[in-house]
């Protein structure tokens, strides 16, 4: 599955184009969500979820995606107060959205560490039934003792065990989803493994798409291996063509040993899009968004997360601190780390010196930026090229505004992708598996009455 | 409004359980029917140990397609995480715009324990003790955000005022939770807690934590006695007994024509059955029975479980309810929009806001 220039097709109607898959990420707890925008609305009212989901369905998207966080982030021992915070529980919202949408896939992030297979399998099977086969489960892992303080189980899992538990968790869920007969009779199951030893009868028949779609997000070698063995979709952060192609080749190359083919796993990076009538206008809008994403307070906070010390006396418009970071200070809790802080600090200071950048400017320059910026025509062409060159199979769009952040994209870019022959003009199936072009999982042969 | 004599306007609720039903539509049909009858709420049972979908999910699916009626799924507390449970119930309140309740239940069997493989089956007393703790921590987590915690203050760059978010630091016998919740305080402050007192150990949990208690009683005198007992116990826990609604649980079989199977049923019934008191007869005599219990000041209303869901709920809504409305015993429309408003219950004060306001 590597790319060659020969894959590029002429413009116009291209019936053999790889079809682009699109998903919508509901913006929320994230410093990329610009809550200071006058058009920013509630991140919790159902009306916001309904608006974004209906927009995604109008754009014929494959699915609507919700992230999860099980403890509010803290900084210096206090709840972090600069970003959007607070969100509803994902599966409950998605069941409600199933009432106001008809075809859109509905994806919830649910952690495999702080849940149990029986209950989780049941909740996803229920969503799949109630939505007519549109459910997806983004399986994430965490060994975070900080988050564990909200749960019976606590944070006992060490890093190496996260994915062994997640893999056994998903495998067990699949056993439960397969446990009824094709005729709709409940049959006993039994699973004994390293993490789970359970038996009984599942409470729901096999769901309308066989199994809910399984998504994986996580980038370590263990995470990639888990995805290759068990996931239908990967949510990745590799949003540049080079990184995308490397990731794509790596992950798709791991499939064969699990008896799977390239089409069985869709790779979808999370990306952002900023549109303008001209390239210059789009760049200007993108820069404005970046400035609002990195407020002076947020710039200092980002620095404190790296330095591991209180920097509140520093001027965000002044130079970077010349002191060295304190490693593992525990100053910030509930966020993913950015690598070795001393190396990061060194790089940032070098960049700041070379370009004469302030703290805030340095943070703007170094932290995540918009992936696709330009006119609708330019963005449509770039997205298409990205997919045709096997840097991805599609995209999870992460808007910076709740809930109107996808309106422009759906109105202006989707029709251009359709014109290019790279995107559907109507839903052809009813289930999420059919949107994604995934096969229904095969039910393992099993003797009547025997347990696995 | 209900008074201490139990003789205000009636509260009526119905179960929408249906066997072998995994699609949304049949649940939606019944809930809409109940809403057409202006009932206070519907309930949907749940258990890990028998076939059926997740009840809270079903009522979330139903929420956007209904407008006024309260939605009360059974939520079990034995094998679930209290933190997840409270977040899901709060979210049901958000998606229904203030119409959520929940009915805590326990899972007492070894079969259910084996589905999770995490702990052995435990005695009911212990499990209900834990359920009470879950109800307690749920209200704390619902209060862990003050209502005005979200400030969106552009000048200081602060989205929330973190002084208005609180760790709950709950330490129970079998679990602990640090908090705060991930979900902001729901529209009703606290979604409505409904406790079925059919099991002996649930009685105390109802007196302590319930907004609505369901009681099994064979007649009005017995119902009145149970109600008085619940109110007394609630007062011992420092609660205002007038903030507790007591509903008689009654299975109804309205397939038996226009007359009660048992003569003198209006006031004389119901029949004892394995699954609880059963009324069998016509919708008119059911109205008589309900009116008689109401006249006796026995209960604040009824929770009705139709034996044949579609048929009996239709007969209830088209037959019994209009008669009760005609007698001035039941509402003809919803004057409020939240479930608490239907019940005549105030929006609870936030326990942490109260603390913060007290300088001592
Ligand atoms: C694109 C992406 C999205 C993620 N979303 C979530 C999320 O919503 N909730 C969560 O708890 N973790 C999320 N994670 C974290 C992963 O599940 C995982 O815990 C983390 O990436 C560490 O695993 P790794 O070492 O395999 O990368 C996400 C990760 C990625 C790459």
Residue of A nearest to B151 (CA): A81
Q: Which of B57, B87, B112 sits opposite A95 (nearest CB)?
A: B57
B58–A130: do the CB atoms touch at under 8 Å?
Answer: yes
Q: Does the pLDDT value for residue A250 go beyond 90?
A: yes
B88–A91: do the CB atoms touch at under 8 Å?
Answer: yes
pLDDT of residue A97: 98
Q: Does the pLDDT value for residue B264 go beyond 60?
A: no
- The stretch A5-27 carries a mean pLDDT of 71
Q: pLDDT tens across A102-131, in order?
A: 999 999 999 999 999 999 999 999 999 999
A297–B22: do the CB atoms touch at under 8 Å?
Answer: no
Q: Between the CA of residue A438 and those of A214, A312, A422, what are the distances in Å? A: 11, 51, 18
- Rounded distance from Cα A141 to ligand 1 centre (Å): 7
Model confidence at A370, pLDDT cuts 50, 70, 90, reads confident
A118 touches chain B (CB under 8 A): yes
Model confidence at B255, pLDDT cuts 50, 70, 90, reads confident
B158–A82: do the CB atoms touch at under 8 Å?
Answer: yes
pLDDT of residue A442: 86
Q: Does the pLDDT value for residue A8 go beyond 50?
A: no
Span of A135-139, A170-174, B53-57, B265-269 with lowest mean pLDDT: B265-269
A88–B90: do the CB atoms touch at under 8 Å?
Answer: yes
Q: Does the pLDDT value for residue A275 go beyond 50?
A: yes
pLDDT of residue B274: 85
- The percentage of residues in chain A with a pLDDT greater than 90, rounded to a whole number, is 79
pLDDT of residue B315: 96
pLDDT of residue A436: 98
Cα–Cα distance for residue pair A345/B203, rounded to 1 Å: 61
- The percentage of residues in chain A with a pLDDT greater than 70, rounded to a whole number, is 94
- Rounded distance from Cα A236 to ligand 1 centre (Å): 9
B176–A149: do the CB atoms touch at under 8 Å?
Answer: yes
Residues of B in contact with A299 (CB under 8 A): none
Q: Does the pLDDT value for residue A87 go beyond 90?
A: yes
Q: pLDDT tens across A173-196, in order?
A: 999 999 999 889 999 999 999 999
Q: Return the ∠ at Cα B6 (arms to B322 and B72), rounded to 5°.
A: 65
Query: What is the overall mean pLDDT for chain A?
Result: 91
Q: pLDDT tens across B324-353, in order?
A: 999 999 999 999 999 999 999 999 999 999
Q: Which atom of ligand 1 lies nearest, measured to the CA of A226?
A: 26
* A285 or A7: which leads in pLDDT: A285
A425 touches chain B (CB under 8 A): no
- ipTM of predicted assembly, 2 dp: 0.95
Q: Which atom of ligand 1 lies nearest, measured to the CA of A163?
A: 26
The residue whose CA is least distant from atom 8 of ligand 1 is A67
Query: Which residues surround ligand 1 with Cβ inside 6 Å?
Result: A 67-69, 109, 111, 140-142, 217-220, 222-223, 235-237, 270
pLDDT of residue B1: 39
Span of A268-282, A438-452, B6-20 with lowest mean pLDDT: A438-452
**Helix/strand/coil (H/E/C) assignment for every residue in chain B:** CCCCCCCCCCEEEEECCCCCCCCCHHHHHHHHHHHHCCCCEEEECCCCCCCCCCHHHHHHHHHHHCCCCEEEEEEECCCCCHHHHHHHHHHHHHHCCCCEEEEEECCCCHHHHHHHCCCCCCCHHHHHHHHHHHHHHHHHHHCCECCCCEEEECCCCEEECHHHECCCCEECCCCEECCCCCCCCCCCCCCEEEEECCCCCHHHHHHHHCCEEEECCCCHHHHHHHHHHHHHHHHHCCCCHHHCEEEEEEEEECCCCCCCCCCCHHHHCCECCCCCCEEECCHHHHHHHHHHHHHCCCCCEEEEEECCHHHHHHHHHHHHHHHHHHCCCCCCCCCCCCHHHHHCCCCCCCHHHHHHHCCC
Model confidence at B59, pLDDT cuts 50, 70, 90, reads very high
- Rounded distance from Cα A143 to ligand 1 centre (Å): 11
Q: Does the pLDDT value for residue B49 go beyond 90?
A: yes
Model confidence at A161, pLDDT cuts 50, 70, 90, reads confident
Give the residue ranges of DSSP H helices in A98-232: 117-130, 145-148, 159-177, 221-230
Q: How many CB atoms lie within 10 A of CB B226?
A: 19
pLDDT of residue A337: 63
Model confidence at A75, pLDDT cuts 50, 70, 90, reads confident
Q: Which atom of ligand 1 lies nearest, measured to the CA of A224?
A: 26
Q: Which of A35, A36, A130 sits opposite B61 (nearest CB)?
A: A130
Residues of A in contact with B117 (CB under 8 A): 196-199
pLDDT of residue A128: 98
Residues of B in contact with A119 (CB under 8 A): 48, 79-80, 116
Cα–Cα distance for residue pair A320/A357, rounded to 1 Å: 9
Q: pLDDT tens across B128-186, in order?
A: 999 999 999 999 999 999 999 999 999 999 999 999 999 999 999 999 999 999 999 99
- The stretch A257-280 carries a mean pLDDT of 97
Q: pTM above the 0.90 mark? A: yes
pLDDT of residue A447: 47
């Amino acid at each position: 599955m590597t790319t060659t220039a020969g894959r590029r097709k002429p413009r116009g109607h291209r019936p053999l184009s790889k079809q682009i898959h699109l998903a919508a990420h509901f913006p929320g707890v994230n410093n990329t969500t610009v809550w200071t925008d006058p058009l920013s609305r509630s991140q919790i009212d159902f009306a916001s979820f309904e608006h974004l989901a209906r927009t995604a369905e109008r754009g014929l998207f494959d699915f609507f995606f919700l992230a999860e966080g099980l403890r509010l982030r803290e900084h210096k021992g206090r709840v972090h107060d600069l970003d959007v915070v607070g969100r509803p529980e994902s599966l409950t919202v998605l069941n409600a959205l199933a009432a106001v949408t008809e075809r859109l896939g509905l994806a919830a992030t649910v952690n495999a560490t702080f849940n149990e297979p029986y209950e989780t399998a049941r909740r996803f099977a229920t969503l799949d039934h109630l939505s007519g086969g549109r459910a997806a489960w983004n399986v994430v892992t965490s060994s975070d003792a900080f988050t564990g303080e909200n749960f019976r189980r606590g944070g006992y899992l060490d890093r190496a065990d996260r994915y062994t538990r997640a893999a056994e968790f998903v495998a067990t869920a699949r056993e439960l989803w397969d446990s009824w007969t094709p005729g709709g009779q409940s049959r006993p199951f039994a699973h004994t493994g390293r993490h789970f030893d359970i038996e009984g009868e599942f409470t729901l028949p096999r769901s309308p798409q066989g199994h809910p779609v399984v998504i994986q997000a996580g980038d370590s070698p263990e995470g990639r291996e888990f995805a290759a063995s068990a996931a239908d979709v990967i949510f990745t952060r590799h949003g540049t063509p080079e990184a995308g192609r490397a990731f794509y080749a790596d992950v798709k190359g791991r499939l064969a040993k699990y008896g799977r083919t390239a089409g069985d796993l869709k790779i979808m990076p999370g990306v952002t899009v900023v549109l303008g009538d001209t390239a210059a206008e789009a760049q200007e809008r993108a820069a404005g968004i970046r400035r609002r994403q990195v407020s002076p307070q947020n710039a200092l906070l980002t620095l404190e997360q790296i330095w591991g010390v209180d920097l509140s006396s520093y001027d965000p418009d002044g130079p970077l601190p010349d002191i060295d970071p304190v490693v593992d200070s525990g100053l910030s809790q509930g966020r993913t780390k950015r690598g070795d802080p001393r190396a990061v600090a060194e790089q940032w200071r070098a960049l700041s010196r070379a370009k004469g950048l302030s703290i805030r400017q340095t943070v703007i320059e170094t932290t995540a930026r918009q992936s696709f910026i330009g006119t609708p025509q330019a963005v449509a062409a770039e997205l298409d090229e990205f997919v045709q060159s096997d840097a991805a199979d599609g995209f999870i769009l992460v808007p910076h505004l709740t809930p109107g952040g996808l309106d422009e994209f759906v109105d202006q870019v989707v029709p251009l992708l359709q014109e290019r022959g790279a995107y559907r003009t109507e839903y052809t199936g009813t289930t999420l598996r059919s949107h994604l072009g995934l096969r229904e999982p095969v039910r393992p042969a099993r003797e009547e009455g025997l347990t696995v | 409004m209900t008074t201490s004599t139990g003789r205000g306007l009636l509260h009526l609720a119905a179960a929408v359980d249906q066997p072998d039903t995994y699609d949304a539509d049949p649940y939606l049909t019944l809930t809409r029917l109940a809403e057409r009858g202006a009932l206070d709420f519907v309930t949907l049972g749940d258990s890990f140990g028998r076939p059926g979908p997740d009840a809270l999910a079903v009522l979330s699916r139903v929420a956007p397609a209904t407008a006024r009626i309260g939605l009360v799924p059974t939520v079990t507390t034995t094998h679930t995480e209290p933190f997840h449970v409270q977040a899901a119930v709060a979210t049901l309140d958000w998606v229904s715009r203030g119409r959520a309740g929940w009915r805590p239940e326990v899972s007492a069997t070894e079969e259910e324990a084996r589905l999770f493989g995490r702990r052995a089956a435990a005695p009911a007393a212990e499990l209900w003790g834990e359920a009470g703790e879950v109800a307690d921590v749920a209200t704390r987590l619902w209060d862990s955000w003050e209502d005005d915690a979200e400030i969106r203050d552009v000048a200081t760059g602060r989205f929330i005022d973190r002084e208005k978010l609180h760790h709950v630091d709950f330490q129970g016998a079998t679990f602990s939770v640090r908090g705060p919740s991930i979900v902001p305080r729901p529209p009703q402050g606290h979604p409505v807690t409904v406790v079925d007192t059919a099991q002996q150990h649930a009685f105390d949990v109802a007196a302590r934590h319930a907004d609505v208690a369901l009681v099994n009683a064979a007649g009005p005198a017995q119902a009145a006695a149970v109600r008085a007992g619940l109110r007394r116990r609630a007062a011992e826990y420092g609660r205002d007994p007038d903030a507790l609604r007591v509903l008689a649980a009654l299975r109804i079989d309205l397939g038996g024509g226009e007359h009660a199977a048992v003569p003198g049923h209006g006031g004389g019934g119901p029949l004892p059955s394995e699954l609880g008191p059963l009324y069998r007869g016509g919708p008119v005599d059911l109205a008589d029975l309900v009116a008689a219990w109401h006249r006796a000041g026995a209960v604040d209303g009824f929770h009705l479980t139709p034996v044949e869901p579609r048929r009996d709920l239709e007969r209830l809504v088209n037959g019994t309810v209009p008669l009760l409305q005609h007698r001035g015993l039941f509402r003809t429309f919803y004057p409020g929009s939240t479930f608490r408003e239907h019940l005549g219950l105030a929006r609870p004060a936030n326990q942490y806001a109260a603390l913060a306001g007290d300088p001592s």
